[in-house]
Amino acid sequence: MKSAIHQRAIELGFDDCKFTTAAPVESASYFNQWLEAGRHADMAYLARTSAKRVDPQRVLPGARSVICLAVSYAVPDGPKTAGAFPGVVARYARFADYHKVLSGPLDELASYIRCLTGGGTNTIWYVDTGPVIERALAQRAGLGFIGKHTNLVSQRLGNWFFLAEILTTTELEPDPPAKNRCGRCNRCIAACPTGAITAPFQLDARKCISYLTIENKGAIPVELRPLIGNRIFGCDECLAACPWNRFARPGKLMQPHARPDLTAIDLNHVLSLDQAGFDRLFGNTPIARAKLRGLLRNACVALGNLGNAAALTALERLTLSEDALLAEHAAWAIAQITRRIGPE
């Protein structure tokens, strides 16, 4: 049965498929300590669902196995110019929304498992949406190892891949766990612009650009704004630094859904967007998670870091916004640009 599931997963376009038990994750104590230290910032849902996250049995009672799946989003870099002021989004967001893209294949694979067992199994699947610690399960299944940047690294796919998992009440033989192969390499730690990787295998979300530009709904700390550069949604620096990326290759499932136009986005255009324009451009992509307000805030910071006098008009308009958050970030950006270019 295990080989049949693996073969069907590959047929459906998944780039790797491994198996582990539904036992509690071994890193539960570390995860709880991380929460207690407040390193999850204001992502309260992580603490609220912490008991489920460390024990798959609490998610699917009677679960015996977890099928861990990888989907590559590696693509060649496209052109990086977009007007005078390009804003950069994380590589994973340069596609249609992966949650929607992967839901069909996951449904099909879960249905296939139920057919194999004559309907005698319960299944539930997630793709970055459920109360499970995906990386810990994936490492235990042998899909990859957790690197010093706290992300999963695959010897076959590098860093550029999504994770998904199917929990099932059917017992399947587990694969051996992956061994850590970071060695003495610390490139990811050195690459982090804000020092969010405070030590090997330790991440403080409060400093992470991905958190600051996506999950954070409030003001971006002033002291961190210059370090964000022109990133307006996420950050790839620690992932891109990993030498295992030499093995990365494009995957079947995501390639047809690539959005090369999102490799770099004109920041002045971003500041001109209303809700309808935002929905047209980003509504079916991961960028929608930041919402229009978050993206405008991020664009202000990016323009403050790289803009010149040509960016002032759009920023000045935003200082008149009734939204105090946007007005403050626009005013900060104007002050940065004015300081850089000097008096006219």
Is residue 279 among the annotated active site residues? no
Characterise 57 by phi-psi region: left (phi > 0), alpha (psi -120 to 50), beta (else). Answer: alpha
Report how far residue 7's alpha carbon sits from residue 26's, in angstroms, rounded to the nearest whole number.
29
- Given the residues 42, 107, 128, 236, select the one marked as catalytic: 128
Report how far residue 262's alpha carbon sits from residue 95's, in angstroms, rounded to the nearest whole number.
8
DSSP state letters, 272-328: T--HHHHHHHHTTSGGGGGHHHHHHHHHHHHHHHH--GGGHHHHHHHTT-S-HHHHH
pLDDT attached to residue 80: 58
Low-confidence residues of the chain: pLDDT under 70? 77-83, 343-344
Contact 23, 177 (CB under 8 A): no
Residues 215-263: tens digit of each pLDDT = 999 999 999 999 999 999 999 999 999 999 999 999 999 999 999 999 9
- Tokens found for residue 226: 């210059």
pLDDT attached to residue 238: 98
Residues 253-276: tens digit of each pLDDT = 999 999 999 999 999 999 999 999
Report how far residue 199's alpha carbon sits from residue 195's, in angstroms, rounded to the nearest whole number.
9
This model's pTM is above 0.75: yes
pLDDT attached to residue 144: 97
Cα torsion angle, 149, 150, 152, 155, sign: positive
Report how far residue 254's alpha carbon sits from residue 10's, in angstroms, rounded to the nearest whole number.
14
Report how far residue 299's alpha carbon sits from residue 65's, in angstroms, rounded to the nearest whole number.
44
